[in-house]
Chain A
Amino acid sequence: MTPGLIYALTGVALFALGLAGVILLAQALRRILAFNLMGSGAFLVLVGLAQRDGGVDPAPHAMVLTGIVVAVASTALALALARRLAAGGHGDD
């Protein structure tokens, strides 16, 4: 078992943990965190698989770099929405 494979399997575990969290948790903030955990798991799978046989494949690394930035942006937007939801006063949050 190479280190890259261990990273990928850890990513799989994080993804499943995050998925369960998204379904099971009730609060918006916790769901956002769980969703982020799913994203981190997916990134870890990509980065791990990119280096499983010796050298490092730069294409998945560039994809993960793009993905991290998009994840930050979507998290911030989700937080803004959650905050608006909490401050809105009506609605079934």
Chain B
Amino acid sequence: MNAPARLAVVGFALALAGVLAAAVLDLPAAAVDLRAAVAKKLSASGVEHPVTAVLLNFRGYDTLLEVAVLLLALLGMLAVAKPEAAAPAPPAADPMLRTLSSVAVPLMILAAGYLLWAGAHRPGGAFQAGAVLAAAAVLLHLAGRLPAWASPSRVLRLGLAGGFLVFLSVAAILLAQGALLRYPPEHAGTLILLIEAGLTLSLGLILAGLFLVLARRPAPPRAGGGEEGKS
């Protein structure tokens, strides 16, 4: 791109920033006070934390589709990944990292369990807990204790899709009663905990998979291509 074009792009971005900032400053107060609406229905949602209530009860279908998007992204990654050489044994990592992983990973699993439980009444929940589990898996991989994924086994596939399937079956069962994901108030807490427990496990696996699929070593370069990082 030549200099005048670059300058034009920078000018365009600056102008856009100015317009957006003016819009943000000029924004009137929200016409609908969602805070009051959420607070009014919170007692019927089965959980005490408003964000969890919005995520898994009031707008549960957003979360359902979000998990589907995650699963699709992982499927897409597996589909575009080149058939690569069998994953070699992970390199011997430095002893500090190995020791750190044996100390930190059990604590991370404990923290994930706590976050899952805490989601009902304070910040936390399935996504945070899943992210911590995935971080534990990444740490194990970096410490040379967990190989990268070549192609997920049958059990692993079940684990990846399990959270989504639990969520989907709850939605399907509730659909028989007339509305998608409208929990009966007396069972809402139990259903949300069931969904969140399934989601924590699956999200942990999916998010770890996003890293571990990319972490595979490329096959030895063949003639005419295969250079890493040439883009």
Contact = CB atoms under 8 A, between A and B. Distances in A.
Interface of A: 5, 8-9, 12-13, 15-17, 19-20, 23-24, 27-29, 45, 49, 53, 55-59, 61-63, 65-66, 69-70, 72-74, 76-77, 79-90, 93
B55 A65 contact: yes
A20 B10 contact: yes
Nearest to A20: B13
B24 A9 contact: yes
Interface of B: 1, 6, 9-10, 12-14, 16-17, 20-21, 24-25, 27, 29-30, 34-35, 38, 50-51, 53-55, 59, 62-63, 66, 69-70, 72-74, 76-77, 80-82, 127, 203, 206-207, 210-211, 213-214, 218, 224-231
Interface of A is mostly: helix
Q: Is the interface of B mostly helix, strand, loop or mixed?
A: helix
A84 B82 contact: yes
A15 B20 contact: yes
A38 B216 CA distance: 28
Nearest to A66: B66
